[in-house]
Structure 1
Amino acid sequence: MFSGFIFDVEGTLVDSVPQNLKSLQDALERFGCSADHDTLHLYSGLDGDQTLQLLLPDAEEKERKDILKAQGEIYERDYLQSVKPFDGVRDVFRALIERGGRIALATDCKGAAFKHYLSVLKVDDLITATACGDDVEHGKPDPRLVGMALWKLGLPGSQSVMIGDTPYDAEAGLEAGTKAAGVLTGGFSAQVLSEAGCFAVAEDLKALLPRIEEGEAKIDAKVPVKRPSIYPRLRSA
Structure 2
Amino acid sequence: MALPSRRHAAVSPRGNLIRNATLVFDLDGTIADTAGDLIEAANVALAAQGFSTASPAAIRHGVGYGAKAMLRAALDETREAADEAELNHLAQQLVALYEQRIAVQTTLFPGFLDVAHSLRGRGAKLALCTNKTERLMTRLLSELGIAELFEAAAGRDTFPFHKPDPRHITQLVAQAGGRVPFAVMIGDSEADIAAARGAGIAAIAVRFGYAAVPADALGADAVLESFAELPDLVERLLGRVSSET
Scaled by the length of structure 1, what TM-score is found? 0.71
Contact 2:186 2:203 in 1 (8 A): yes
Q: Which amino acid aligns with 2:104?
A: Q
Report the Cα distance in structure 2 between the residues aligned to 1:153 and 1:98, rounded to whole angstroms. 16
CA contact (8 A) 1:90 1:123 kept: no
Give 1:108-119 correspondences, 5 Å limit. Answer: 108-109=131-132, 110-112=134-136, 114-119=138-143
Aligned to 2:63: 44
Is 1:80–1:113's contact at 8 Å kept on the other side of the alignment?
Answer: no
Q: Is the 8 A contact 2:205 2:218 kept in 1?
A: no
What value does the CA root-mean-square deviation take over the aligned residues?
3.6
The amino acid of 1:103's aligned partner reads L
Counterparts of 1:28-107 in structure 2, within 5 Å, are: 28=46, 30-31=48-49, 32=51, 37=56, 40-48=59-67, 51=69, 59-60=83-84, 62-78=85-101, 80-107=103-130
Matches within 5 A, 1:218-233: none
Percent identity (aligned) = 24
Change (3 A) 1:115 1:214: same
**C-alpha displacement of 1:27:** 3.2
2 CA distance for matches of 1:138 and 1:194? 27
Which of 1 and 2 has greater Rg?
2
- Residues 21 and 204 of structure 1: is their aligned pair in 2 closer, same or farther, counting only changes over 3 Å? farther
After superposition, residues 133-144 of structure 1 pair within 5 angstroms as 133-136=156-159, 139-144=162-167
Structure 1: give runs of 5+ residues left out of the alignment.
220-237
After alignment, is 96-105 or 76-85 more displaced? 76-85
Tell me how many residue pairs correspond in the alignment. Answer: 217
Matched, 1:201 2:223: yes
Contact 2:129–2:155 (Cα < 8 Å) also in 1: yes
Which residue of structure 2 aligns with residue 15 of structure 1? Answer: 33
Structure 2's unaligned 5+ residue stretches are 1-16, 76-80
Per-residue Cα deviation, 1:169-227 (whole angstroms, up to 9, x for no partner): 222222233221122232458x82232122121223223332333344457xxxxxxxx
- Counterpart in 1 of 2:200? 177
User: What's the counterpart of residue 211 of structure 1?
Assistant: 233
Give the match's secondary structure for 2:32. Answer: coil
What's the offset of the Cα at 1:77? 3.3
